[in-house]
Structure 1
Amino acid sequence: MFKHILLPTDGSPLSEIAIQKSISLAKTLGAKVTGLYVIPEYHTFTWQTEMLIDTSEDYAKFSLAQAEKFLAVIRDQAKEAGVTVALLHVISEHPYEAIIKVADDNQCDLITMASHGRKGVQGFLIGSETQKVLVHSKIPVLVYR
């Protein structure tokens, strides 16, 4: 069935639940997992250049630390379950596009994600990366709620 699962995380408690269930699914299927964290691109909102000293470097260090922390959860659970795992982080303005690209580039045949369950006007206005992946992905997406 599925041989390579892409498992994006945003570090939220809901993502951790999706990680647990996805690792269990991978173990059952004998599939490998690629864990992914998408780092948002750095933006500045100032006209005073003196405010920018070391800011982008600090952002890069912080973002890499976050990526390592969130991906360690996937690594540790996969190791404990005996599931083969690879870990990636990418930088992108649009996480859903990065998720789909990484899935394509790595020949993943399933994407598993958490859903924050926003409904109504909030869901429409804010949108969700999971919803965008569902709409644009050409491979199956399994959503954990």
Structure 2
Amino acid sequence: MPYQHILVPIDDSPIAYAAMEHAQDIAQAFDAQITLVSVVAIDPFVGVDFYKVAPSITDHIFEAEKNAEGRLQNLKQTLEQRGFVVNTRIIREVPPAIGIVTIADEVNADLIIMGSHGRSGIKKFILGSVAQEVLTQSRLPVLIVK
């Protein structure tokens, strides 16, 4: 089945950019559009009330969102110069995997391509694996790049 719309979650890690390279190849082969998405997540171990009383944390979140928007716009511009149709989205205030799956549905994506940091053992248990959660929750095919 040819893919028409590819969703690519992006953060500032090298593995996310590796996933982006795979997405470009597949998008080019199928003449598909690309939606780039970044997650601006609050710390799941800290309650919302803490953010109301801690302006420095709130500033950190705004800075993270500004950085994510800048990263997405830079990638969008690069991809558009290469002839791709590109959209961007920011996910806010939801767990990353839920946000990724929700955005995939909203934009009618038919493939998700994402990097996996390859955490294992206790790190995976404590931090969870966004890629694993997306695999579990998505009804779409998911290509995981390691």
> Given the two structures, how large is their TM-score scaled by the length of structure 2?
0.84
Corresponding position of 1:23: 24
Q: Deviations along 1:38-58, whole A, 9 cap, x unmatched?
A: 1113745489x5xx35753x2
> Given the two structures, how large is their TM-score scaled by the length of structure 1?
0.84
AA at the equivalent of 1:104: D
Larger gyration radius, structure 1 or structure 2: 1
Gaps of 5+ in 1: none
Gaps of 5+ in 2: none
CA distance in 2, matches of 1:135, 1:15: 19
Contact 2:91 2:100 survives alignment (8 Å): no
CA distance in 2, matches of 1:25, 1:9: 17
Q: Cα–Cα, structure 1 residues 35 and 84, in superposed 2: closer, same or farther, change >3 Å?
A: same
Shift of 1:121: 3.7
**1:107 and 2:116 aligned:** no
Corresponding position of 2:42: 41
RMSD: 2.3
Runs of 4+ in 1 over 6 A off after TM superposition: none
Contact 1:19 1:74 survives alignment (8 Å): no
CA distance in 1, matches of 2:109, 2:21: 19
Q: Cα–Cα, structure 1 residues 53 and 16, in superposed 2: closer, same or farther, change >3 Å?
A: closer
SS state at 1:22 partner:
helix
Corresponding position of 2:133: 132
Corresponding position of 1:79: 80
Q: Cα–Cα, structure 1 residues 61 and 2, in superposed 2: closer, same or farther, change >3 Å?
A: same
Q: Cα–Cα, structure 1 residues 110 and 59, in superposed 2: closer, same or farther, change >3 Å?
A: same
Contact 2:112 2:141 survives alignment (8 Å): yes
Contact 2:51 2:57 survives alignment (8 Å): no
How many residues were matched structurally?
A: 141
